[in-house]
């Protein structure tokens, strides 16, 4: 009996699926697509918009110099559609008529020989990837009436060297100039409030950038690998520098942080090898993982009172850093926070520190003495591993957890001072470390 019910149920479900599929096909068939027309010369395909104007959505252009008509078969052209002339390999110069207000997504993308574009002031919107991969494009003037620039609009325009974005622009999409490797100079609009993610990511020759006064946030990877960038002035009012914002800006040698800054994302300045100093203002409450890792030229660090944690790998491989004074508010030092800071010779830890992560000071070759404050309860594995000059260390009675190989590879002269009867004394005996036990 149960078998018959199962068979009936399967048949019913099959019929329902077939009916649903048929309904979907009927619905798709009933979607009205606009009727397409061709111009008399066969160069442009278009359709009539609801307002009675024409939208060009295809072309058959084979001339080098192209002037798009303002009318087609008596209708005013107001929009260039998505993919209208993408992947064209003939056009070298392009003039858009003053009747057009919008250029759609990928309208001229991958026009590999396009060198110059004239856009009228009537254009208010340039869509996503509209001119992406126009690898010969050297000359474009953005219209004075432009309000929105789409995501990756000019990405991979390899030979574009300079651009002025008019003040009328209030919206810029992510990666609008991604991988424009020759771009050296850009003027951003005064009304911009946030630098979008990946905006200038991969712009290897960008040498100068002035951020408008109203910018409050710099997005993820915004200036990543801008290797020619040497200095940046950040506006007062900026609150957030997001993850990898200036990642691998290897020639960045000068930056001033505004008093308004509150947060720095992970790897925000990692591999900024020529950055000599990091002086953070008093309102910075959080720093992301590896925020200043591999800043090989860093010699000075001033962290604000109020910061409670030094994150994992924050100053990893800052090889020139000789000393660090942590603010009294710090309670935790993350794993590998100062690992491979080979020149670090002096270290002052605040009284509030309770936890020090694995390998926090691994391979700090110049470190000779360490005094851990009373209150530290957790010492991770290998915290001072391979610190060959470390000859003196003091461990507090408050320690409850000590990881393995904390002093592995340290000086044979190392002497560890501990409290009699404390867990640290037991640990040192187990590790066969030279120990001085005091009352």
Is pLDDT above 90 for 10? no
Please report the pLDDT score of residue 26 as a whole number: 47
What percent of the chain stands above pLDDT 70? 92
Which pLDDT tens digit goes with each residue over 241-272?
999 999 999 999 999 999 999 999 999 999 99
- Please state the rounded mean pLDDT for residues 424-434: 95
Q: Which structural domain range is residue 425 located in?
A: 305-439
Which pLDDT tens digit goes with each residue over 306-343?
999 999 999 999 999 999 889 999 999 999 999 999 99
Please report the pLDDT score of residue 33 as a whole number: 63
Q: How confident is the model at residue 114 (pLDDT cuts 50, 70, 90)?
A: very high
Residue 406 maps to a domain: yes
**How far apart, in whole angstroms, are the C-alpha atoms of residue 192 and residue 263?**
20
Neighbours of 227 (CB within 10 A): 18
CATH of the domain at 414: 3.80.10.10
Residue 208 maps to a domain: no
Please report the pLDDT score of residue 24 as a whole number: 46
Taking alpha carbons only, the member of 297, 341, 279 closest to residue 316 is: 341
Residue 71 maps to a domain: no
Please report the pLDDT score of residue 427 as a whole number: 96
Please report the pLDDT score of residue 372 as a whole number: 97
Please report the pLDDT score of residue 32 as a whole number: 60
Residue 34 maps to a domain: no
- The token duo for 189 is 């609009």
Residue 169 maps to a domain: no
Which pLDDT tens digit goes with each residue over 36-91?
999 999 999 999 999 999 999 999 999 999 999 999 999 999 999 987 888 999 99
**More confidently predicted of 17 and 153:** 153
Please report the pLDDT score of residue 262 as a whole number: 98
- The token duo for 362 is 């691994």
Residue 334 maps to a domain: yes
For residue 2, the 8-state DSSP code is H
Residue 211 to residues 163, 208, 223, 249, 285, Cα–Cα distance (Å): 14, 10, 12, 17, 23
- Please state the rounded mean pLDDT for residues 233-238: 95
Q: How confident is the model at residue 12 (pLDDT cuts 50, 70, 90)?
A: very low
**How far apart, in whole angstroms, are the C-alpha atoms of residue 353 and residue 375?**
7
Q: What is the total count of domains within the chain?
A: 1
Q: Mind giving me the DSSP string for 338-383?
A: TTT-TT--EEE--TT--EE-TTTTTT-TT--EEEPPTT--EE-TTT
**More confidently predicted of 113 and 348:** 113
Helix (H) or strand (E) holding 105: none
Averaged confidence pLDDT in the chain: 92
Residue 312 maps to a domain: yes
- Please state the rounded mean pLDDT for residues 376-398: 97
Residue 324 maps to a domain: yes
């Amino acid at each position: 009996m149960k078998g018959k019910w199962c068979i009936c149920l399967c048949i019913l479900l099959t019929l329902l699926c077939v009916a649903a599929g048929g309904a979907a096909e009927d619905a798709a068939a009933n979607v009205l697509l606009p009727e397409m027309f061709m111009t008399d010369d066969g160069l442009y395909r278009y359709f009539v918009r609801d307002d009675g104007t024409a939208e060009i959505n295809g072309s058959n252009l084979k001339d080098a110099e192209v002037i798009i008509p303002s009318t087609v078969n008596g209708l005013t052209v107001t929009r260039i559609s998505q993919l209208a002339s993408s992947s064209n390999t003939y056009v070298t110069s392009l003039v858009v008529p003053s009747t057009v207000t919008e250029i759609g997504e990928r309208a001229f993308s991958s026009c590999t020989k396009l060198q110059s574009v004239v856009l009228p002031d009537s254009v208010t919107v340039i869509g996503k990837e509209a001119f992406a991969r126009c690898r010969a494009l050297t000359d474009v003037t953005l219209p004075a009436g432009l309000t929105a620039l789409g995501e990756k609009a000019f990405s991979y325009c390899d030979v574009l060297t300079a651009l002025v974005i008019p003040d009328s622009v209030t919206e810029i999409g992510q990666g609008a100039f991604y991988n424009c490797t020759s771009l050296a100079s850009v003027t951003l609009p005064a009304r911009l409030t946030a630098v979008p993610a990946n905006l200038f990511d991969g712009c290897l020759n960008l040498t100068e950038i002035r951020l408008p006064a109203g910018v409050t946030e710099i997005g993820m990877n915004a200036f990543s690998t801008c290797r020619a960038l040497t200095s940046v002035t950040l506006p007062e009012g900026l609150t957030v520098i997001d993850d990898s914002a200036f990642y691998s800006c290897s020639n960045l040698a000068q930056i001033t942080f505004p008093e308004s800054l509150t947060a720095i994302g992970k790897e925000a300045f990692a591999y900024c090898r020529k950055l000599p100093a990091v002086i953070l203002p008093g309102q910075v409450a959080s720093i992301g993982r590896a925020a200043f890792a591999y800043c090989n030229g860093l010699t000075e660090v001033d962290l604000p009172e109020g910061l409670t944690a030094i994150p994992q790998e924050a100053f990893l491989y800052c090889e020139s850093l000789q000393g660090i004074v942590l603010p009294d508010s710090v309670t935790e030092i993350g794993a590998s926070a100062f690992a491979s800071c080979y020149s670090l010779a002096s270290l002052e830890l605040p009284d509030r520190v309770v936890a020090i992560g694995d390998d926090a000071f691994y391979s700090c070759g110049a470190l000779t003495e360490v005094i851990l404050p009373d209150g530290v309860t957790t010492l991770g594995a290998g915290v001072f591993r391979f610190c060959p000059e470390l000859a003196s260390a003091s461990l507090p009675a408050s320690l409850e957890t000590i990881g393995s190989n904390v002093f592995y590879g340290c000086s044979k002269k190392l002497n560890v001072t501990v409290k009699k009867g404390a867990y640290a004394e037991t640990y040192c005996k187990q590790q066969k470390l030279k120990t001085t036990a005091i009352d």
